[in-house]
Amino acid sequence: MAVQWLLLCHGLVTLLVVVSFLCGQWPIFDGTPIQRIHRFLTFGAYDYFLRLIGYVFGSKGTNMVLAIESFCCDRPNPILQVIYLAIVGITYYIITISTFKYVPGYYLSGIHRYTSFLAVTVGVLLFLLTSFSDPGTVNADNIHRYLSAYPYDNIIYSEKECSTCKILKPARSKHCSICDRCVARFDHHCGWMNNCIGERNTRYFMAFLLWHFFLCVYGAVAIGLVLAGQLKELKVVYILTVYYGVENSFFGLAPYVIQWILGSYNTQLLIMVFLSIVCLLLGGFFGYHAKLCITNTTTNETFKWQEYISWQRKASEAKASAAALRASMDGLSSERKPPESKWRTIFRRSRLEQVQVVKNNTYDHGFLHNIHEVIFPFSSRPSFSRSKPKSG
């Protein structure tokens, strides 16, 4: 059983590292070990690595690493696209050579040989569609249309010029330093797609996430049914209970069944665990972006609102502190009042605790309107191309 426990620990550690690396910056993990692991993986480990390279190879080695970093992170490149295609291709190939020989089986029909290929093909097509579609590039020809579609709220967006493109920046747009273009309703730059996610391709990106979530669920469940079918066809439970005298109960049979699966179907089990982990990550990522779409917010705007609310809260707290200080000074200079009850002093809320900053998202027009705007973006509507610049 030592091997089984080792594999279990390896899977748990892998899950912890993957979740920490991809999701450690989420607000839900603030102050947790996952956030600290994320910081180490994204900043600390790289800093130690640079120091090691500098110590061993000198400044030339450090400059080479920084040049590779610039190519991978600061310029458009297909590295992650190739990695995605390799992951999908290798995973599907392993499944075909290790699992298809048991299909059709006790619980699965032979049609799943073809539906699985169709599902993977659709996933790759959605990936290509998201990667090579226009995210909503803002240029001199369509700037007036985007200015009309997305008015300034004068809270987190105000009229200003893009210092790179030398054109007005419509509200909700952002200049992507990697793609070197202004993108309407900018959400984020996705390295996996080697493309920005913006007004025109958010719908494809959401479809990609949702489809791959269900694809991983389909793969994990299908492999689970294959293993359950082999368990049934080979009469493993019958042999364990009749010939080996194992108690016919879940807790009695589970250790032996797990040992049998690890010994005979370890590849299928590892693929199933891998798909389950990716499924959880995709589900969380899709849920996060679905919430943004429902509230008509983008990832870029989420950070802008955090900065605005933090600044407003500090300003309000400063005003409340000044008011409290004036009140205390006035109290000292006025006539002596009867002492206040200690209990009232304890339970009285501080002026700073009463400070509240409200997020006023003027682009949130309700659930149905927000979803309609994602599925049918402004620039894809006939009225968008017919709109004319305002005179004057």
Model pLDDT for residues 107-156, shown as the tens digit of each residue: 999 999 999 999 999 999 999 999 999 999 999 999 999 999 999 999 99
Confirm whether 190 is a catalytic residue: yes
**Cα gap 306→192, rounded to integer Å:** 26
Dihedral of alpha carbons 88, 94, 97, 101, sign: negative
Mean pLDDT calculated for residue range 89-103: 94
CA distances 123 to 96, 97, 99, 214, Å, are 17, 21, 20, 10
What percent of the chain has a predicted confidence (pLDDT) above 70?
86
Burial 52-72 (b: 16+ CB within 10 A, else e): ebeeeeeeeebeebeeeeeee
- Let me know: does 153 contact 364? Beta carbons within 8 Å: no
Q: What is the DSSP letter of 254?
A: H
Between 243 and 296, the higher pLDDT residue:
296
pLDDT above 60: residue 358:
yes
User: Is a pLDDT exceeding 90 seen at residue 91?
Assistant: yes
Residue 328: the pLDDT is 67
Q: What are phi and psi of 254, to 5 degrees?
A: -55, -50
Please report where in the chains the tokens 């429902």 appear, as a residue: 294
Q: What is the DSSP letter of 328?
A: H
Rounded percentage of the chain residues whose pLDDT exceeds 90: 53
Q: State pTM to two decimals.
A: 0.81
Q: Which has the higher per-residue pLDDT, 83 or 354?
A: 83
Over residues 242-291, the pLDDT tens digits come to 888 888 888 888 888 888 888 889 899 999 989 998 999 899 899 999 99
The answer to whether the beta carbons of residues 253 and 240 sit under 8 Å apart is: yes
Of 190, 216, 279, 293, catalytic = 190
pLDDT value at residue 346:
52
Per DSSP bridges, beta strands 188-190 and 195-197 are antiparallel
Neighbours of 385 (CB within 10 A): 10
> For residue range 151-189, what is the model confidence (pLDDT) as tens digits?
999 999 999 999 999 999 999 999 999 999 999 999 999
Q: Residue 230 corresponds to which tokens in the numbers above?
A: 């082999």
**What are the residue boundaries of the structural domains of the chain, listed by start?**
12-74, 78-137+189-311+364-382, 142-188
